[in-house]
Amino acid sequence: MPIPVDSIIEARWIVPVEPAHSVLHNHALVIEHDKIIDVLPIADARQRYTANARHVLDQHVLIPGLINLHSHASMSLLRGYADDLPLMTWLKGHIWPAEQQHVNYQFAYDGARLACAEMLRGGITCFNDMYFFPDAVADAAIHCQLRAHVGIVVIDVPTAWANDADEYLHKGLVLRDRVLDEPLLGFTLAPHAPYTVSDASFEKIVSLSQQLDLPIHLHLHETKDEINHSLATYGQRPLARLHELGVTGPHLIAVHGVHLNEHEQQLLVNYGCHVAHCPTSNLKLASGIAPIAAMLEKCVNIGLGTDGAASNNSLDLFAEMKLAALLAKGSSDNPAALPAWQALQMVTLNAANALGVADRLGSLIPGKQADVVAVNLSDLSSQPCYDPIAQLVYATGRHQVSHVWVAGRRLLDSGNFTHLDETELRRSARMWHDRIFSTRPPIE
């Protein structure tokens, strides 16, 4: 007798990510409740199982749900607000003043919902976030049914969310306790950057990270100005200072890492740290090109992030994969640097490893959560297809994502949301645009 299951997805190709390089032709993914229970040839699946829902995707490749390792989801409402400016001018002259004037719970909630919808349509099923009002980001992720690692943000300046580091930490931990039973939510400790967080605050963060087994997610070595500021203020480079404070270790997710020298790269390896590479944001803000090829040679675990829509300006991991691969090749004079399979691994298994959830996410193997993305490769721009993995990285756009499942729930069906109201999302975005635009200072 065939075994009854919730759903079966049949596809022309499955790229499970584990083992690396592997491509399964004409295979099926079998899902029961929220988990993958089998991956096998289609003919065998039809004999062995009977499903409540069977999806036949004969022009598609199935991949694990993509993981955005660094985002500021709510900043989607500041997309295009102040473009073509240096980082500190952008932050101090435009972004921070706009946030001071407009950011509240509703801003963070509406911006995060907009971001979740954009990410979901582009195959992103999990995002690692850092922003004020993390309670709003958590509520938005729950509403949109996306996985989120919500950052308990810490910065040594008062904002509408909290007045000092102790209050940031207290409110973040209260939120974590409130939603501890939400299966799609995780948490990180998210100190903004070395130049905005004191030694005393970092010491508290390290202690909490160890006690609660939480990753530490922060901007690090993003710009030359950051390095120079640290040398002038502390007499050492930022990573050296953080290392003395005990920040380095398997819990550290260092975002950007543009200006890491050989010694610092090796330190990351020695202490099992992770890097969230954000190539588009780094280029747009002229922060530089991270030494990704060199770090990969040293076996640093690297994931990819979009950063926020205010500095990108899209939340598109397909674009980040391609750009990361091309930059690694061009900057190292090595066309074999960062091959396609490794770029895909960065937005799946590597990111899952950085967040400490690789036992549940990041690949399509039995026992893992059924976070699945179907990409339609029938488009003329994807023809002919000799290697589906290379096609995904070098010739595919997020518009080719057709179906998305999170924990076995189908949230995108033939490019259409099954549970989100696009009209309401557009209305909300327009309302915030009108409010923010009316107070925007001139850009010189």
Whether pTM exceeds 0.85: yes
Which residues constitute the domain of residue 72? 66-355
One domain, residues 275 and 214:
yes
One domain, residues 375 and 385:
yes
- Structural domain includes residue 440: no
Mean per-residue pLDDT, 71-80: 97
- Structural domain includes residue 53: yes
Kindly tell me the sign of the dihedral angle through the C-alpha atoms of 246, 247, 252, 258: negative
Mean per-residue pLDDT, 377-382: 94
pLDDT higher than threshold 90 for residue 358: yes
For the stretch 284-311, pLDDT in tens is: 999 999 999 999 999 999 999 999 999 9
Name the pairing type of β-strands 124-129 and 66-71: parallel
- Structural domain includes residue 399: yes
Strand positions, DSSP E, 33-168: 35-41, 49-64, 66-71, 124-129, 147-154
For the stretch 57-67, pLDDT in tens is: 999 999 999 99
Closest CA to 204 of 158, 161, 168: 168
- Structural domain includes residue 240: yes
One domain, residues 32 and 175:
no
One domain, residues 374 and 241:
no
pLDDT higher than threshold 80 for residue 330: yes
For the chain, give the mean pLDDT: 97
Q: Give the per-residue pLDDT at 149.
A: 98
One domain, residues 59 and 71:
no
For the stretch 110-162, pLDDT in tens is: 999 999 999 999 999 999 999 999 999 999 999 999 999 999 999 999 999 99
- Structural domain includes residue 441: no
CATH number of residue 251's parent domain: 3.20.20.140
pLDDT higher than threshold 90 for residue 314: yes
One domain, residues 122 and 14:
no
Q: Give the per-residue pLDDT at 312.
A: 94
Listed in sequence order, the residues at least 6 apart from 255 whose beta carbon sits closer than 8 Å to its beta carbon are: 70, 217, 218, 219, 220, 222, 275, 276, 278, 305
Cα distance between residue 307 and residue 277, in whole Å = 9
Give the chain's domain count: 2
- Structural domain includes residue 394: yes
For the stretch 237-272, pLDDT in tens is: 999 999 999 999 999 999 999 999 999 999 999 999
One domain, residues 157 and 21:
no
Share of the chain above pLDDT 70, in %: 99
Q: Give the per-residue pLDDT at 224.
A: 95
Q: Give the per-residue pLDDT at 439.
A: 84
Share of the chain above pLDDT 90, in %: 95
- Structural domain includes residue 179: yes
For the stretch 331-353, pLDDT in tens is: 999 999 999 999 999 999 999 99
For the stretch 207-229, pLDDT in tens is: 999 999 999 999 999 999 999 99
Q: Give the per-residue pLDDT at 309.
A: 96
Q: Which two tokens stand for residue 272?
A: 């099992």
For the stretch 82-108, pLDDT in tens is: 899 887 888 888 898 999 999 999 999
One domain, residues 39 and 73:
no
Closest CA to 214 of 204, 200, 226, 199: 204
Q: Give the per-residue pLDDT at 443.
A: 61
Mean per-residue pLDDT, 166-172: 98
One domain, residues 300 and 380:
no
Q: Give the per-residue pLDDT at 444.
A: 59
One domain, residues 262 and 274:
yes
Mean per-residue pLDDT, 410-420: 98
**Which among 355, 377, 401 is the end of a domain?**
355
pLDDT higher than threshold 80 for residue 442: no
269 and 298 Cβ atoms separated by less than 8 Å = yes
Q: Which two tokens stand for residue 394?
A: 């070098």
One domain, residues 299 and 384:
no
Mean per-residue pLDDT, 380-398: 97
Closest CA to 282 of 309, 265, 258, 316: 258
One domain, residues 36 and 55:
yes
- Structural domain includes residue 421: no
Cα distance between residue 425 and residue 122, in whole Å = 16
CATH number of residue 42's parent domain: 2.30.40.10
